[in-house]
């Protein structure tokens, strides 16, 4: 990829695609992690005396102006984090934007309005992209989380400006590429969450590279069903049972399933002895011990998805056991996926990992081996 460090940005106007799709509660930012992750790129550009224009989406306004999804609160929070005033413009294209850009001094930061207020953004519209590019000299993509989308601000825009990868995007690609190209062994992947269907491609691709895939979360019941186990009232993707069966056949002993389950009444039962009238909500204590030992001995670990209903005690124990074991692992540890990230933050362990990906769906597609449009155009 063409990297920001290689770009001539001194005194230039630099358009930076960021991911400020942050959760809002009563008009206030509930979690500013996505804002904090791009500060190194912004600070670097400020030191280089560039004029910085930031563009992002927020939520799903479906091509219409939605006042609750304006980026003004983000500009306010970013000002506090940078300890420098961030200008905000309530549009992202047009004469008002051009006028605001002309007023910028070296090192100034301007945040434009929600890109998805325009339907052209999600249509990868060339004309819209040219209008976004108009006031800038250089384009930087620092929004890995949307780089799996061929949208105008990620893909089409590179037709109009010299384009580079920002520091966050560079780090994401470097860490995730390392998992696929040169992982140290033993390499353990941990897959949780509700649906096997969300993780099929990743499991399939990682099976060629890992020593073991540890399964948890509601998806384990789809695998149990494939083994003809009783799963009671547990969540299961009935239409994916055949697929789970084929993954078990392909993975052989490398796909590791929990040996005990915590039921909704908090009772622990062996995985093959579940009652008909109850549901499993977490991996059991024996499984937690087995998984923890495997994780601690690994040289490379990737984790996506919680082990149970982690938002509710005591069904967070499996997820917390995995988080703790990973934090004690001496190898390379990478976490991806919103719920897994939320779990390690809840445990206060985020600083103990080699890399915490903010990529979500983009991380999974990357690990499936898919080409991401926003990254391909930076080659």
pLDDT band at 358 (very low <50, low <70, confident <90, very high): confident
Q: How much is the pLDDT for 199? A: 84
From the list 195, 245, 324, 352, the catalytic residue is 195
For residues 28 and 376, the model is more confident at: 376
The predicted-structure confidence for 256-306, as pLDDT tens digits, reads as follows 999 999 999 999 999 999 999 999 999 999 999 999 999 999 999 999 999
Which pLDDT score is estimated for 346?
80
Q: Is 195 known to be catalytic?
A: yes
- The 8-class DSSP code of residue 198 comes to T
pLDDT digits (tens, 9 = 90+) for 12-70: 999 999 999 998 888 889 889 899 999 999 999 999 999 999 999 999 999 999 999 99
Q: How far apart are CA 57 and CA 143, in angstroms?
A: 10
Counted residue by residue, the chain has a size of 379
Q: Verify whether residue 34 is a known catalytic residue.
A: yes
Residues 6+ apart with CB under 8 A from 160: 129, 130, 133, 139
Judge whether residue 156 has pLDDT over 70: yes
Is residue 337 scored above 80 in pLDDT?
no
Question: Do residues 358 and 37 make contact, with C-beta atoms less than 8 angstroms apart?
Answer: yes
Task: Write down the pLDDT at residue 252.
Answer: 86
Please report the pLDDT score of residue 338 as a whole number. Answer: 66
Contact at 8 Å (CB) between 74 and 89? Answer: no
pTM of the model: 0.89
Q: What is the CA radius of gyration of the chain?
A: 22
Structure confidence by residue, pLDDT tens digits, 161-209 = 999 999 999 999 999 999 999 899 999 999 998 887 878 888 989 998 9
Confidence of residue 350 (pLDDT cuts 50, 70, 90): confident
Per-residue pLDDT of 219-263, as tens digits, reads 999 999 999 999 999 999 999 999 999 999 999 899 999 999 999
**Which one is catalytic: 34, 199, 225, 240?**
34
Among candidate residues 59, 107, 178, 361, the one labeled active-site is 361
Question: Residue 18 is encoded by which pair of tokens?
Answer: 């960021």
- CA dist., res. 144 & res. 110, Å (int): 21
Question: What's the DSSP call for residue 117?
Answer: G
Choice among 123, 245, 338, 346 that is catalytic = 338
- Tell me if residue 338 is catalytic: yes
What the chain holds in terms of domains, given with CATH numbers, is: 4-167 (3.40.50.1260), 175-367 (3.40.50.1260)
Q: Tell whether the model's pLDDT for residue 210 goes beyond 70.
A: yes
Q: How far apart, in whole angstroms, are the C-alpha atoms of residue 87 and residue 76?
A: 9
Place of tokens 């304006």: 70
Return the structure tokens found at 280: 């499993």
373: alpha, beta or left? (left if phi > 0; alpha if psi -120 to 50): alpha
């Amino acid at each position: 990829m063409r990297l920001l460090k290689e770009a001539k940005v001194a005194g230039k106007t630099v358009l930076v695609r960021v991911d400020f799709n942050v959760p809002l509660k009563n008009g206030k930012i509930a979690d500013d992690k996505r804002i904090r992750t791009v500060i190194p790129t912004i600070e670097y550009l400020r030191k280089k005396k560039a004029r910085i224009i930031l563009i992002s989406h927020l939520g799903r306004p479906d091509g219409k102006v939605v006042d609750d999804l304006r980026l003004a609160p983000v500009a306010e929070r970013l000002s506090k984090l940078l300890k420098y005033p961030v200008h905000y413009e309530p549009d992202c294209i047009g004469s008002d934007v051009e006028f605001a850009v002309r007023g910028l001094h070296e090192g100034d930061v301007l945040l434009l309005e929600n890109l998805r207020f325009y339907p052209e953004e999600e249509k990868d519209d060339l004309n819209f992209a040219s209008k976004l590019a108009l006031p800038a000299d250089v384009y930087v993509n620092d929004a890995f989380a949307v780089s799996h989308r061929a949208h105008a601000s990620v893909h089409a825009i590179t037709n109009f400006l010299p384009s580079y990868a920002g520091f966050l995007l560079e780090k994401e690609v470097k860490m995730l590429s390392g998992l696929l190209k040169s992982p140290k062994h033993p390499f353990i992947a941990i897959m949780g969450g509700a649906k096997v269907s969300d993780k099929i491609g990743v499991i399939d691709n990682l099976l060629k590279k890992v020593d073991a895939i540890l399964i948890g979360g509601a998806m384990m019941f789809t695998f149990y069903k494939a083994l003809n186990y009783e799963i009671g009232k547990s969540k299961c993707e009935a239409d994916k049972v055949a697929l789970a069966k084929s993954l078990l056949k392909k993975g052989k002993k490398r796909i590791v399933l929990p040996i005990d389950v915590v039921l909704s009444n908090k009772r622990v039962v062996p995985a093959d002895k579940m009652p008909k009238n109850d549901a499993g909500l977490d991996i059991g204590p024996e499984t937690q011990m087995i998984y923890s030992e495997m994780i601690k001995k690994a040289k490379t670990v990737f984790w996506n998805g919680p082990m149970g209903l982690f938002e509710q005690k005591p069904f967070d124990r499996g997820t917390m056991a995995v988080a703790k074991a990973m934090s004690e692992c001496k190898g390379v540890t990478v976490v991806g996926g919103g719920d897994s990230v939320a779990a390690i933050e809840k445990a206060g362990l985020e600083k103990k990992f080699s890399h915490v990906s903010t990529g979500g769906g983009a991380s999974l597609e990357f690990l499936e081996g898919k080409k991401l449009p926003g990254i391909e155009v930076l080659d």
